[in-house]
Amino acid sequence: MIRQTTILKEILLEGVGLHTGKKSVVVFKPAVHANYGIRFIRVDLPNKPEIEANYKNTSTGLAVRGTVIEKDGVRVHTIEHIMSACAALNIDNLIIEINNNEPPILDGSSKIFTETLLNAGVQELDAQKEFYTIKDPVYFESEKTKIFAYPSDHLEIECTIGFDHPFLQHQSLTLTDLNKDSYLSDFASAKTFCFDYEIEALQKNGLALGGSMENAIVIGLGGIHNKEPLRYSDEFVRHKILDLIGDLYLAGKPIKAKIVAQKPGHQNNINFVKEFVSKAIIEKNKISEGKVSIGVELSPTEKILSHEEVLKYIPHRYPFLMIDKVKIDTGNNTKAVGYKCVSGNENFFQGHFPGSPIMPGVLIIEAMAQTSCVMFLSRPQMQGKLAYFMSIDKAKFRVPVKPGDFLELRVEIIKDSGKRGKMKGEAYVDGKLATEAEFIFIIVDRDSSLRGDYDTSDSCSK
């Protein structure tokens, strides 16, 4: 059983708020009762009103340059960096006392919040952790923003940003698994950013009064105004993921899903969370050797190979990895099922076809072939092997596959000669057969493949 957590000891942080420009002190305290959640307490106000950090308490009309929670007219602004740190550290319950309406911006990232909470320590509570999961994709669109969620056994985020600006037009990045170490090394230090032409307008509206080159990256037409170099070459999309992690944590429970976000922002992130929770189910996580998965029923001999496990068996990598997970059966190794979340961020959609994106049929067959390779190469005797295409036959394309579709790739052995395999593959979308084909591949040693000295004379007969 995975248990709920809180921090071990009280700890304090102080600094200037990004938008108010006022000094702010936050005190993090352990919440010793399970299911308390994360709550902000305004100690500067009479009766010390508290607001739970939950999507139900968000003020989306104010969530343009930060995430705002509100209850009975009391607000706390710009909480996303604290929430992001709590999500990365798996902190479920926390008291946050604050003497102003906004936490300090510090260096513009969540690094100091994360390190401070780590220094406070994390302790388990005597209660089981719950998660939000989905069995079917969830879609949210608003103007240029698209945020989709697909079934997964953990949180993964694929994010793309783009601006009508000569210096910052397009960045894309994928977080394959949220954990303390990857968050600290790859995301926590990413600073907030804005364009120089926004600053005057923000300050006229009473925002960014505490902003400076020390806590924000300021972008101009010719580049970055800050003298300090970027912490990451793609720091802007990393900060967007940092913010999205924090906003997703407003669901009130950790989310297990693959999130694909195009041009996310706080207001749309929160509206997506509302849509997601309305369609999610609550799962009390039971450690079951990887059998908690993507909304499919598993027999005692079946298991889902995660994205990371798939990478151990086949050499394909972005942008040519065409499967996310594979279901194999250790009791019957003649069949397998691959799963592919078809994201609108796939690079092939840029040219196939603009205005009417369709996944190329040859790549659907490639996805079926990669599923077959995982099935073969996951066998213990296949260590150090590779699989190469030899032929494709009887290919038929019945239904177009579009962005947002969830591909189920069913493959079955027709003939297995040890060194070669003949497979039948079928790809389904929403239960409808989209593509089918038969194909033959050869199994070779990795070293032989590099030398090119493998034998192709013995093929599988039809």
pLDDT tens profile 67-123: 999 999 999 999 999 999 999 999 999 999 999 999 999 999 999 999 999 999 999
Q: Spot the catalytic one: 19, 154, 266, 307.
A: 266
**Residue 13: pLDDT above 70?**
yes
For residues 108 and 176, state if they share a domain: no
Total residue length of the chain: 462
**51 plus 116 within the same structural domain:** yes
Are 209 and 267 members of one domain? yes
pLDDT of residue 300: 83
Q: Which residues contact 48 (CB under 8 A, 6 or more apart)?
A: 41, 42
**The pLDDT of residue 291:** 35
Distance between CA 414 and CA 164 in Å, rounded?
52
What are the b/e assignments for 323-348, b being 16+ CB within 10 Å? bbbbbbbeeeeeebbbbbbbbbbbee
- Please give the pLDDT value at position 458: 42
Where is 219: in which H helix or E strand? Answer: strand 217-220
Residue at token pair 């929403």: 430
Contacts of 365 (CB under 8 A, 6+ apart): 392, 395, 425, 435, 437, 439
Q: How confident is the model at residue 209 (pLDDT cuts 50, 70, 90)?
A: confident
Under DSSP, the state recorded for 118 is H
Residue 356 lies in a domain: yes
For residue 266, indicate whether it is catalytic. Answer: yes
Same domain, 9 and 86: yes
What average pLDDT score do residues 205-217 get? 83
State phi, psi for 285 to the nearest 5 degrees.
Answer: -70, 125
Whether 239 and 312 map to the same domain: the answer is: no
If you search the block for the tokens 């303390």, which residue do you land on? 180
Answer with the one of 284, 311, 331 that is the final residue of a domain. 284
Domain that holds residue 72: 3-126
Shared domain for 110 and 225, answered yes or no, is: no
- What pLDDT score does 460 carry? 43
Does residue 29 lie in a domain region?
Answer: yes
- Tell me what the pLDDT averaged over the chain comes to: 89
For residue 291, is it within any domain? no
Say whether both 22 and 80 belong to one domain.
Answer: yes
Question: How far is 276 from 374, CA to CA, in rounded Å?
Answer: 31
What is the distance between the alpha carbons of residues 454 and 350, in angstroms, rounded to a whole number? 37
pLDDT surpassing 90 at residue 336:
yes
Per-residue pLDDT of 397-408, as tens digits, reads 999 999 878 899
- Give the model confidence (pLDDT) of 341-388 as tens digits: 887 778 888 889 988 889 999 999 999 999 999 998 888 888 888 888
pLDDT of residue 278: 96
Instruction: Tell how far CA 23 is from the center of its chain.
Output: 34
Q: Is residue 393 part of a domain?
A: yes
Of the two residues 39 and 154, the one the predictor is more confident about is: 39
Both 309 and 230 in one domain: the answer is: no
Contact criterion met (CB below 8 Å) for 153 and 306: yes
* DSSP three-state, residue 396: strand
Mean pLDDT value across residues 456-462: 41
- How many domains are there within the chain? 3
Q: What sign for the dihedral angle of Cα 251, 254, 259, 264? A: positive
Please indicate, yes or no, if residue 272 is contained in any of the structural domains. yes
